[in-house]
Amino acid sequence: MSTIQSIAGENEQHPDVALVDRVRAGDVAAYDTLVRKYERQIFRIAQHITQNREDAEDVMQDAFLKAYEKLEQFQGNSKFYTWLVRIAVNESLMRLRKRRTGKMVSIDEDLETEEGSVPRDLADWAPDPEQNYNQSELAEILRKTIQGLPQGFRVVFVLRDVEGLSTEETAETLGLSVPAVKSRLLRARLQLRERLSRYFRMKSPPSRRRKEGVKSDVH
Amino acid sequence: MTCTEFLALLDDLIDDSLAAQTRAEIEQHMHKCGHCEVIFNTTRKTIEIYRSHEIYDLPAGIMDRLHAAIMARCKKGC
């Protein structure tokens, strides 16, 4: 029994692999399951990159249709989800290019800024700061804040921290090196933190903290 | 440990991928440095807030329509 389990364990694959195999064998219902499983994530990623609801809807549809058409090319070296995300990222960038006719779009643009590499706002946040806003106010703050990030930081943060891809998967998906993903992730996290501080900082900091808004003495 | 060294390790601290010894050093630094403690707590909170709030959700009706459109095309062979 243990031998069977260990053999099964060695061959144990992600549940998506069986679904992909069924789709390849002509079972469209299995693809329905895969679409349902990932459609919200793919929509969110597309929305984060294109910043446009209609484009995100189109990208979501195109990404799933393209994945279906190209399923034979899916090698199984990476997870189906990572492969799908890569298609969605490329479709999103193509969509952006169409909107900004003639202008090249890449995930490397606007990365010159040094903003956020050194934390400046060192005020502590209120406990559960999101409780100070209603749901739609909070969503607006979070949207506005993340939209202000350079594309190349935003997409790394979204894939790695929001959608839960590993650093390696994020690197593979975006065609970046692992150190590049790590560097962008740190700066994305710090920039978002800095910008959210405007909304979430404590109104009256405890006495052990220095006055609000003082410049960093981080050395 | 300096604040700059702390910042370089911040992601690994958040992702819980530090060796025990380094983790102990960083915790010792945060104990002494209120600013770095704030940076750690607020950065971790930033990630948590983005993870737990849906900022681009689609109403179920629209998602169903998109889903149906995808599957209709797939059934026709795209």
A112-156 pLDDT, tens digit each: 555 556 788 888 998 889 899 999 999 999 999 999 999 999 999
> What domains appear along chain A, each with residue ranges and CATH number?
2-99 (1.10.1740.10), 107-219 (1.10.10.10)
pLDDT at A206 over 60: no
Q: pLDDT band at A209, cuts 50/70/90?
A: very low
Q: Residue A124 corresponds to which amino acid?
A: D
* Contact partners, residue A3, CB within 8 Å, separation at least 6: none
**B16 CB within 8 Å of a chain A CB:** no
**How large a percentage of chain A has pLDDT more than 70?**
79
**A22 CB within 8 Å of a chain B CB:** no
- Contact (CB<8Å) A40/B7: no
Q: Determine the pLDDT at residue A65.
A: 96
Higher-pLDDT residue of B26, A6:
B26
Q: pLDDT band at A63, cuts 50/70/90?
A: very high
Nearest residue of chain B to residue A164 (CA atoms):
B51
Nearest residue of chain B to residue A66 (CA atoms):
B78
Minimal Cβ distance to A65: which of B35, B38, B73: B73
Residue A11: strand, helix, or coil? coil
Q: Determine the pLDDT at residue A148.
A: 93
Predicted complex ipTM: 0.92
* Contact partners, residue A205, CB within 8 Å, separation at least 6: A123, A124, A211, A212
**How large a percentage of chain B has pLDDT more than 70?**
99
Q: Determine the pLDDT at residue A213.
A: 45
**Residue in B6, B35, B73, B75 to test binding to A, most A beta-carbons within 10 Å:** B35
